[in-house]
Amino acid sequence: MSKIQVCAMRLMIKRNTLPRLSCVGICLFGVVAVSAALGGVFVNLVNAAEAPVNHALFTTSDQCMACHSNTHAANGEDTSIGYQWRATMMANSARDPYWHAGIKREIADHPQAKAAIEDICSTCHMPMARFEAHASGQMGVVASHLDMFNAKPAILPRNTALAMDGVSCTLCHQIRRDNFGMESSFDGGFVIDTATPPEQRQLFGRFEVDKGRTRVMHSASGFVPTQATHLKESELCAGCHTLFTHAMDDRGNPAGVLPEQVPYHEWLRSDFARTDTCQSCHMPKAGGDTPLSSVVGQPRADVSLHQFIGGNAFMLRILGAYRDELGVVAGTDELEASAARTDRQLANRTAALEIGAPRINGENVEFDVNVRNLAGHKLPTAYPSRRVWLHVTVRDSAGASLFESGAAGADGAISGNDNDDNAAAFEPHYTRITAPDQVQIYESVMGDFAGRVTTGLLFGTRYLKDNRLLPRGFAKAGAPDDVAVRGNAVDDSDFDNGGDRVTFSVPRKDLTGPFTVSVELLYQSIGYRWAQNLRNYDTPESARFLRYYGEEAKSITNLLAKAEASAR
């Protein structure tokens, strides 16, 4: 009999003689057996739950953390699934203070649709609780879960514990591929088996698990690990990251459907659809063989890290700075490490810049700026609060500023941006820039039922502007409505397939040069106007987020790329 089988047998306690142990209980019992069999194995249980969760369709992540943490790859890299996941936006989707403020704003704008708003908004931010509600013929809720969580009871009710666990382990690992890529899968329409009873439910994973380890996991969690390759497919992510918003007018009448965020559809039209998946960039591989579990874990090759690197370092740092207020489980150091990974990805794998042949042309210094999108979707993608822009400076031979466009203020505003100055306006797409108050901003700008600029998601009926940089291989001609280019960029022949070119012409003011041209491509996950418009709503959630935003605005802007050249 193998050592693993010995361990598994010792863990096989008759259910009718002993109630199910919590993850702590079963793992503590298992550690004794594993230590005897393998010569001493210890698992850090400090952050595991003390009480069992009586799950039906799902269980919370604390039932997985004790075993699926404290692991390292062959090169020494920390590969702890649990610790890395809990410091991501996925884990903290229900604790996101911007979302809290946003949902209260939407309810204030559309009070007659409160129940529907909470149901829809819980789809991806509180998915386990919402899925269970729908499975039992009810609607998802938000406010009651937040109220219960904020009351800080000794033990949370089960449905609130599921809600606050965000996008968690037993959600993603139970998704089936039945409707992958189909319209029915979008807007959180993923398929999870609801018929199989507890103790028989499958959790899908990429690797085959032998019988001994299967019994260990089943004893600790109540789930049966099952090998399935569909976890590697982009369609696994598309279900929640493809959202079409049904807009309303100011009387609650239907006003249109907005492709709120469709990175999957953007990816399908790019070259990346033939070479890379979502997981390729957002779940990088571990550095060498690594066990998935600290308890009798078998080293595996080609393990994907559960870092879920996105584009929201700003919010990760807010979660770290105010973790006690927000009830965040991950430590400040874990959240900062997650934010730093996001910084690196944004700086190294997102975009590239090139300044083409600066020249003195009569009374002007002229140059072209070429921007390339290195991502597999539009840049920026997803939620429309995000923006990318060019910060351009020209200096004379003494280093004095001759011209500057797109400077970022300490409050997060962009100098010269019409929308930051005036909520009713927005900056157009440019092919040629000749003045400091002209800024090339790559963004999507929503219009409401009356054609007015809005940051109210449920007021957004269409895009007045969408000049977000297209990924390589994406041709704007013939693109369907859900991913189409909007505004002046439609007629810009240099804006297409992977990038854009902008010409700058700057008066040289009788100076002879040489002139130094510096260009930065900058990014924000929450644009200034998207935050400031919350001032119109007298809610604790808006006030709290605006306080966070004001205190942390210094860290809101990320550098994606930079270049420098001289004109003589």
Instruction: State pLDDT tens for residues 75-131.
Output: 999 999 999 999 999 999 999 999 999 999 999 999 999 999 999 999 999 999 999
pLDDT of residue 568: 83
Burial of residue 491 (number of CB atoms within 10 Å: 0-12, 13-18, 19+): exposed
Q: Is the pLDDT of residue 525 over 60?
A: yes
Q: What is the pLDDT of residues 380-427, one digit of tens each?
A: 999 999 999 999 999 999 999 999 999 999 999 999 999 999 999 999
User: What span, in angstroms and rounded, lies between the C-alpha atoms of 194 and 57?
Assistant: 7
Q: Is the pLDDT of residue 494 over 50?
A: yes
User: What span, in angstroms and rounded, lies between the C-alpha atoms of 543 and 531?
Assistant: 11
Q: Residue 432 pairs with which residues in a beta bridge?
A: 503
User: CA nearest 525: which of 312, 377, 382?
Assistant: 312
Average pLDDT over residues 260-265: 98
Provide the residue count of the chain: 568
Q: What is the pLDDT of residues 350-376, one digit of tens each?
A: 999 999 989 999 999 999 999 999 999
**How many Cα atoms within 13 Å fall on the side-chain side of residue 299?**
9
pLDDT of residue 55: 53
Q: What is the pLDDT of residues 240-251, one digit of tens each?
A: 999 999 999 999
Residue with tokens 């709120």: 260
pLDDT of residue 429: 98
Do residues 432 and 488 lie in contact, with contact meaning Cβ atoms separated by under 8 Å? no
Q: Is the pLDDT of residue 291 over 50?
A: yes
Joined together, the tokens standing for residue 515 give 């002139």
Average pLDDT over residues 440-455: 98
What is the helix (H) or strand (E) element at residue 179, kind and residue range?
A: none
Q: Is the pLDDT of residue 548 over 70?
A: yes
Residue with tokens 């800080």: 152
Joined together, the tokens standing for residue 7 give 């361990």
Burial track 421-447 (b if 16+ CB lie within 10 A, e otherwise): eebeebbbbbbebeebebbbbbbbbbb
pLDDT of residue 66: 87
pLDDT of residue 59: 93
Cα-based distances in Å from 388 to 153, 308, 371:
42, 21, 11
Do residues 313 and 343 lie in contact, with contact meaning Cβ atoms separated by under 8 Å? yes
| Among the ranges given (291-300, 422-431, 435-444, 461-470), the one the predictor scored with the smallest mean pLDDT | 291-300
pLDDT of residue 473: 98
Average pLDDT over residues 262-277: 98
Cβ contacts of 175-182, under 8 Å, gap ≥ 24: 175/204, 175/236, 175/239, 176/204, 176/230, 177/228, 177/230, 177/233, 177/235, 177/236, 180/230, 180/233, 180/235, 180/236, 180/238, 181/235, 181/238
Phi and psi angles of residue 433, each rounded to the nearest 5 degrees, phi first: -120, 130
User: What span, in angstroms and rounded, lies between the C-alpha atoms of 279 and 264?
Assistant: 12
Residue with tokens 């890529």: 181
Q: What is the pLDDT of residues 180-227, one digit of tens each?
A: 999 999 999 999 999 999 899 999 999 999 999 999 999 888 999 999
Question: Are β-strands 243-248 and 351-361 bridged in parallel, bridged antiparallel, or unpaired?
Answer: unpaired
| Among the ranges given (3-17, 37-51, 85-99, 499-513), the one the predictor scored with the smallest mean pLDDT | 37-51
Q: With bands split at pLDDT 50, 70 and 90, how would you rate the model's confidence at 36?
A: very low
The dihedral built from the CA positions of residue 521, 321, 153 and 113, taken in this order, carries a sign that is negative
Residue type for position 439: V
Strand boundaries in 213-350, DSSP class E: 224-227, 243-248, 254-261, 290-291, 299-300
Alpha carbon 248 to its chain's center: 26
Average pLDDT over residues 467-494: 98
pLDDT of residue 56: 78
Q: What is the pLDDT of residues 315-324, one digit of tens each?
A: 999 999 999 9
pLDDT of residue 163: 98
Q: Is the pLDDT of residue 32 over 70?
A: no
Residue type for position 200: Q
Q: What is the pLDDT of residues 132-170, one digit of tens each?
A: 999 999 999 999 999 999 999 999 999 999 999 999 999
Q: Residue 392 pairs with which residues in a beta bridge?
A: 405, 519
User: CA nearest 377: which of 283, 310, 455?
Assistant: 310
Joined together, the tokens standing for residue 287 give 């550095």
DSSP assignment letter at 411: T
Average pLDDT over residues 537-549: 98
User: CA nearest 556: which of 366, 337, 381, 386?
Assistant: 386
pLDDT of residue 550: 97
pLDDT of residue 220: 86
Question: Are β-strands 432-433 and 401-405 bridged in parallel, bridged antiparallel, or unpaired?
Answer: unpaired
Average pLDDT over residues 543-552: 98
User: CA nearest 230: which of 301, 283, 279?
Assistant: 279
Q: Is the pLDDT of residue 31 over 80?
A: no
